[in-house]
Structure 1
Amino acid sequence: MASYEAAFDFLLAGDHEMVIYGNLKRLHIVPRDNRYDDFLQEARLLFIKAYQTFPQDPTSYPHQFLAYANTKIHWGLVDQLRRDQRGMALTTPDDSETLSELSQPDLDLDWRINESDVIKTVLKRCSDAEQRYLLGILRGRSVAEIAHQYRVSRGTVYQWRHRVARKMHDVLQKDFHVG
């Protein structure tokens, strides 16, 4: 097994770090994203792990290794993104948090909106199908799970989502005077 130092030296040699930046760009994780530094560090660790698990000597087969590392980094970051999204779906904010605090925690806004009031208002304006979508999402279900539950296509569920988003936008603008 290769040492951490050898793996890190290989990472910094030449333009090997471009494998990392390419994967971040490919996954739409850009420098202005507040998760960027975390994912950059995770990608570097994945590169070192790939260096250590590569079946041959990476310095002897650099092109093969970089292709191998690219795949390992990509799927490692995809897995991390999935874990992050599942964690966000499983943790639901309590009623004391407001939409303004959730969307922009840095800003000191003078208006506060209770998200349960917004959801109740939107639910009243939704059709039965749109209510199914919104309640499914609030319960942490994916589009595929909602589609399977109601025996419709995912495309149908995406249409429900689009209509719910429009209604949410209208409710926020008209009823809650946001935006």
Structure 2
Amino acid sequence: MSRILKQEMEQDFFYVHDSIVYGAIKKCRISYNHANFDDFVQIGRIKLVDAYREFPKNLFNEDYFYQFTGYAFRKVYWALMDQIRKEQRIFEREEALPESYEEWGMINPEVFDEDFVVWELFYSMLNCLSEKEQHYLKDSVIEQLTVTEIAKKRKVSRKTVYAWRKQVAKKLEHYQDVLKK
């Protein structure tokens, strides 16, 4: 049986049956200060309306009214437990980042800082190069390709790659002083 919760009945329905949602939340041990408390309330209310639509008997009969409360409570409780399980699975898959360098397995944090500076410098170098020169620098530094491999990848002659290398070296001469420090 599928019934519709009419808009004029909606406020009275939730006034009477909202305690089912809060009871199921309490049974799941979700406190008011839980980060997702409002989300659980909304999930519970949605399932409460689903229970109203799907309940097979006449709700205007007093005997069936009490059966509905038990039916709705179970439906809301199971939906909340499913949501808790989903959140738990997501939490278990996520891994927290370590708080200190030692936990990262880094004995010397300055090494990390030096690498960061070098990569920042690398990206600042790219800004003063043409597009072809940028491709050459990325291929040679990041992918560590040889001149022949770069020529094949970019579909140019080796002589052209050597010309790019010469232009890059000329444009980046002032960066050598920074790297030596």
Give the TM-score normalised by the residue count of structure 2: 0.49
Task: Compare relative contact order (CA 8 Å, sep 6+) and give the higher one, 1 or 2.
Answer: 2
Q: Which has the higher helix share?
A: 2
Question: Which structure would you say has the larger Rg?
Answer: 2
